[in-house]
Amino acid sequence: MDIRTIDWKNNKIRIIDQTKLPLKLLYINIDHLEDLWQAIKIMQVRGAPALGAAAGLGMYLGIKDYICSDWGKFSRKLNSVAKYLASSRPTARNLFWGIERILAVASAHKNQPITKIKQAILADAKLIMQEDAFSCRKIGAYGARLFKNNNKVLTICNAGILATIDYGTALGVVYTAVSQGKKVEVFCCETRPLLQGARLTTWELNKQGIDVTLIADNTAAKLMQENQVDMVITGADRIAANGDTANKIGSFNLAVLAKYHNIPFYVAAPKSTFDLAIRDKSGIKIELRKDQEVSSILFKKEIAPKNAKVLNPAFDVIPHQLISGIITDQGVIQMPYLQNIRKILGKNKCG
């Protein structure tokens, strides 16, 4: 694809500022850890796989200029960077996965000089990006097999190029199906409160020449009732061992609506989104975000009385019973999830 969401350029992290889309495509360079923390917090960079890459690069950013010669000191510094980065957002598994992976790489090199450890960290952070690009294409290939010609697909939020390095998970499946010559029509929920569907997915699909129609989140049930949806595909932020899947608020709504209308509901995610240490949804921490995301539009136009009480969870959890299949880079996992997730992904590869 012609867009790259996150990269390492000139010794800095380069990201697309996603808060500026669709009005402008603006790249920003980040060379302080605190700026990355903020960029994650306010969602200039977002999407679980992209956050995995941000975690890897962020770990390097946090230690690249730290001068010391003994492993003990370096390790303490690295752990403090890890803790800080991990405090930016709680739900997406990939952020923690990226941090843990870098900690493990550093630990594996602990007998080497600090400069070598730093090199190994940067190399692994770059590898995370390469692996994501590859993984998304594998997800695309497995997922595209589920498509027939002229399928109509409903999605929410953005699980595309802008949520990954350069291809997407849920939208990667669409890109692959289209590249195979299948005709695909996408309906996209605008995804209040932060409107990632309207701002990011519609923009991205338009740019790739995919037929996309924007709807208010409220229109999903009517669309299904009128047989305009052959399948729902979403991304994922964290998948428990039993298949329960945290994703953007509204995903659970779509899963219930799809069940009622007998429409298959798929989740697409790389290995790094699975959290086998958590058995089910009760272990998934859901981020609560600022009231102003709901009581105003993108922090500008106020739409509610000043004193309005607001509840603004950023995610919900789709119970595994409502998921027809989880499209991963290792194949499409189906029920029973508790057994099949372990069988396909392996206990130790993604803990």
193 prior amide bond cis, ω within 30? yes
**Is 24 an interacting residue with respect to its own copies (CB under 8 A)?**
no
Of the candidates 132, 166, 237, 244, the residue annotated as catalytic is: 237
Of residues 111 and 309, the one with the C-beta less far from its own copies: 309
Binds its own copies (CB under 8 A): choice among 2, 181, 309, 348: 309
- How near is the Cβ of 161 to its own copies at its closest, in Å? 15
Cα(315)–Cα(15) distance, rounded to whole angstroms? 23
Q: CB nearer to its own copies: give 24 or 111.
A: 24
Distance from CA of residue 165 to its chain's centroid? 10
Does position 150 interact with its own copies (CB under 8 A)? The reply is no
Subset of residues 227 to 286 that bind its own copies, contact rule: CB under 8 A: 248-250, 252-253, 256-257, 259-260
Contact partners, residue 318, CB within 8 Å, separation at least 6: 234, 244, 245, 246, 247, 251, 252, 255, 265, 267
Q: Does 316 bind its own copies (CB under 8 A)?
A: yes
Query: Closest approach of Cβ 140 to its own copies, in Å?
Result: 23
DSSP string across 242-259: T--EEEETTHHHHHHHHH
Cα 186-335-316 angle, rounded to 5 deg: 55
Residue from 38, 87, 130, 225 binding its own copies (CB under 8 A): 225
Q: Is residue 297 within the footprint of its own copies (CB under 8 A)?
A: yes
Q: Are the C-beta atoms of residues 128 and 96 closer than 8 Å to each other?
A: no
Q: Which helix (H) or strand (E) holds 301?
A: strand 301-302
Q: Choose, by CB under 8 A, the member of 96, 167, 203, 265 that binds its own copies.
A: 203
Q: Residues 6 or more apart from 193 whose CB is under 8 A from it?
A: 289, 293, 294, 312
Q: Are 226 and 261 in contact (CB under 8 A)?
A: no
Task: Specify the residue, 108 or 308, whose C-beta has the smaller distance to its own copies.
Answer: 308
Terminal-residue alpha carbon distance, the chain: 30
Interface residue with its own copies, options 124, 132, 190, 329 (CB under 8 A): 190
Q: Which of 218, 227, 334, 339 binds its own copies (CB under 8 A)?
A: 218
CA atoms of 28 and 26, how far apart (whole Å): 7
Q: How many residues bind its own copies (CB under 8 A)?
A: 56
Q: Does residue 295 belong to the site contacting its own copies (CB under 8 A)?
A: yes
Region binding its own copies by CB under 8 A among candidate stretches 6-14, 115-123, 176-184, 219-227: 219-227
In the set 221, 335, 338, 344, which binds its own copies (CB under 8 A)?
221
**CA-CA distance, 208 to 139, in Å (whole number)?**
18
Residue 237 annotated among the catalytic residues of the structure: yes
Tell me how long the chain is: 351
292 makes contact with its own copies (CB under 8 A): no
Contact range with its own copies by CB under 8 A, out of 90-98, 123-131, 158-166, 305-313: 305-313
**308 belongs to the binding site for its own copies (CB under 8 A):** yes
Please tell me the distance from the alpha carbon of residue 327 to that of residue 142, in angstroms, as a whole number: 7
Q: Which residues bind its own copies (CB under 8 A)?
A: 22-23, 187, 189-193, 195, 198-199, 202-203, 206, 211-223, 225, 248-250, 252-253, 256-257, 259-260, 294-295, 297-298, 300-305, 307-313, 316-317
Catalytic residues: 237
